[in-house]
Structures are given as structure tokens and as C-alpha cells.
Structure 1
């Protein structure tokens, strides 16, 4: 059986990205591998063993074109409303809170969430810890 271990995103400014992931999600550097033309920075926290890998290409000066193929990363939080307010206060411009209820009014939501973008434009879904994400 396979075990998911990390997801990689290419970032333009290492310090700016580290600041965002640390303050937004409590991710800290688990490992940093520096090579001649690029650096790999692995971020994690005590909540899960899954890591976000930031790839910093040293010769890159232009923002990356995310194209139309990238989806999103997703994280789960205990208090979605509090996190949304905290993200607003931090200036991260979170999207609106969504109660995803495909069964219609009066049915339980499948998920509650909002999206936020990191400094390079990668979308991150922030989900309430409930239901299948509990």
C-alpha cells in the first residue's frame, strides 16, 4: 500500500513562502536540502506526517504560471470560523466560508470550507474538522 508523504510546489521567494506557511498553518521546516541550482524545503507540523515541499529554483525571477492543471492542497482545522477571521486579520484574503450542502436546504453539509492562496497563487482549501474530514 502506498503512503502519501508530500506535495511539492514551486515558489519564487523562500522567505515569503516560509512566513506564510508558518503563520497560516503552523508548518515549520522539517528539512532543508540546498543544491547548486535549487533548494528543497520540507514543511510539517505535529498534526500529520504529510509534508509540503517548497522547491526554490535559484535562477528563477519570474512568477510561475500555474496553468489550469493545478487543483489545491487541503488542510483541516478545529475552528473554521476562527481561522477564517485570523486569516482576514493577517491580510491573507481568504475566500468566503462555504457550507457545501448538495442535498439542499435542511440537509447536513458534506463540508464547510474556505480557500486561501499562498504568495505564489497556489490554492489551499481550509476545511472544518467534521464528517469525513473529522
Structure 2
């Protein structure tokens, strides 16, 4: 028996704002969308065009409050080929929430407050 990653899901309050953020900040693009006839939810899958792993954004029509992220100790991680340029871009976007120069990493916040780790590509 063999398992492989398919996707990670996060729920978002404003789907279009989140899609725009993930495209601008991380270059992720919509690969497909599920929209039921009753309009009660929309699921959008975003991909990096390099791997088969997807980020699933779920919007719930009747959700009326921010999501409880607890201590926000979970996160997604992204490897970037130009770490310094990425950090500069994310600082310009004002979404860097934590830097750890000693470990050579930093984190950004998405519009719903989820933390996303950015790692340099290892040589």
C-alpha cells in the first residue's frame, strides 16, 4: 500500500482576495474549481505548475466570522529559487509576519491569517 500527497485544504473568507494573494505572493494558479448548483460553497484548487501537490481553498457561503486558527502552529512551506527577491517582494506586500535569519527562513500571512513558510532552495 502506498500513499501520496494530493492536496492541503484551508478555508477562506474571501475567495477572490485569497486567489489573488496566492497568485501574487507565490505564483500559484487556479487549476480547477467546484461550484455546486446551490452555491453553498466553492472549492478552488491552486497549483505551482511544477509538482502535482495542490492547495485547496474552500469558501463557505454561510460562514460569517474569521476562522479560528488556534495557536497557528501549523503551516504550509514553499521552496523558492531566489530567496532574497522573494523576501523583498513579500516585505513590499507587507505580508511577512516572522523572520528567522538564523535558520534562513521566514513566514508570510495570507489574508485569513494562515502562516506560510518560505525556504531557500538548497544547492
Mapping 1:5-16, distance limit 5 Å:
5-16=6-17
User: What's the CA shift for 1:96?
Assistant: 2.0
Q: Which 4+ residue blocks in structure 1 deviate beyond 3 angstroms?
A: none
Mapping 1:1-134, distance limit 5 Å:
1-35=2-36, 36=38, 37-68=40-71, 70-100=73-103, 112-130=104-122
1:56-89 Cα distance to aligned partner (Å, 9 max, x none):
0011121111113650000000111110001111
TM-score (norm 2): 0.90
User: What's the CA shift for 1:5?
Assistant: 1.1
Unaligned 5+ segments in structure 1 are 101-111
What's the Cα RMSD here? 1.5
Unaligned 5+ segments in structure 2 are none
Q: Which has the larger radius of gyration?
A: 1
